[in-house]
Amino acid sequence: MAIVIRRRTILVIIIVCCIGYLLHLPNGGSMEQTNRIRLLTAPMKLCYFISMAAESLGLSDRAVVTRKIIDMAAVFKDTASEDANLQITNTYIENVRVRIARPSNDNSNLPVIIFFHGGAFYMGSIDTHNALTSTLARLANVVVISVNYRLTPKHPFPAGLEDCYTVVKYILDYKDSQKLRIDPTRVAISGDSSGGNFATVITMRLATRPVTQFLPRLQILLYPSLQVFDMMLPSHRQEHYTLVYYDIHHLLSIYLNKTVDKSIYANNHTSVKQKKHYRKFIDWSLIPSKYRIKYQEPANDDHEGDPNLIKETKKALGPEISPLLVNDAQLAKSVPTYVLTVGHDRLRDEGFIYAGRLKRVGVKVVHNHYENTFHGSISLLYGLLSLDIAHEMVADLVRYIKENL
């Protein structure tokens, strides 16, 4: 009897510890509605461990497992409230799958937002971001075209980028505007995280090498990924709350279809010559001083990187992956830009640097920073786990769209 009690006690302790771990909210003390965020965090931790276990057992790459779990979860969402008062059309543009959301009570030729979802280039879809895209269409009274681009690792760079570019070119060259009932002269290119990377790259492509009848009027970037040159920015080294955990070295490995190891976090993927060349584009003085108290200046710029890693990641320093690494003359060609950054985000500082550099060269920029929230939070608009800060961010964005698009 004593043995049975002891075993049950041990089992209860293990269960309690597991629940405690899953609900633990590391580095989240400054955020509001923490109980809801805890409930969001638990399944994402489970997702991460399942994906890592599957990879360790040789069953599948962690990225593929993570994407499948998140896609399955998206199926169970209540889209009725998300899509209220909208016409939703799932179709293809030049063989690329898209979802078009437009207000059901307006048949005029409306402005357009072409949206690229985030997900570290290997996850996410038009379903995972449906709440955000539908809400923008309804509240801003615009047509939102959400692009379901190809994902890595099955489709490495530049497949997803080219899918997005294909859709953008089609819309900006659109001659029969009555068919989609859009105004191709009032187009914004937008995306969050990795989708923000695509939006920035494509907008820059069109600004420097115009190939369409019209150009985008705006770019709207939500905590965008803009560079992989300096992995020792303060926001990369500081502890943050993270909802969806991913390793940058693994992300780059599958995106580039190369082998990238963890030494990239010490900027071991660049030579001294490269550091001298690219450093001027990553200006730490544009990062707010409160974030530079501990990490005050760039590190390891006099350190020669690993030759093999330098070779494997060379493509990542180009403007098609790191659009922040271009000169001021190129940046000055950018269209008016909206940048959203958040406090709990490794991408925070490059957003500040990008917005600051655009302002310096005369580009019209609105930069809204939300300190007490995390990467990905703008999409949490519906259901029991919706967040007030998501609605605040969307309200600010809708106001900008109405005033500028």
Active site residues: 193, 345, 375
Candidates 161, 147, 170, 160; CA nearest to 94 is 170
Query: What Å distances lie between residue 401 and 141, 394, 396, CA to CA?
Result: 9, 10, 9
Instruction: Say how many CA atoms lie within 13 Å of 279 toward its Cβ.
Output: 16
Please list the alpha-helical segments (H only) found in 233-347. 234-237, 248-256, 272-278, 307-313, 328-331
Q: What three-state secondary structure class fits 140? A: helix
Cis peptide before 210 (omega within 30 of 0): no
φ/ψ bin of 316: left (φ > 0), alpha (ψ from -120 to 50), beta (otherwise): alpha
Asked if residue 196 lies in contact with residue 328, where contact means CB atoms within 8 angstroms, the answer is no
In whole angstroms, what is the distance from residue 143 CA to residue 106 CA? 10
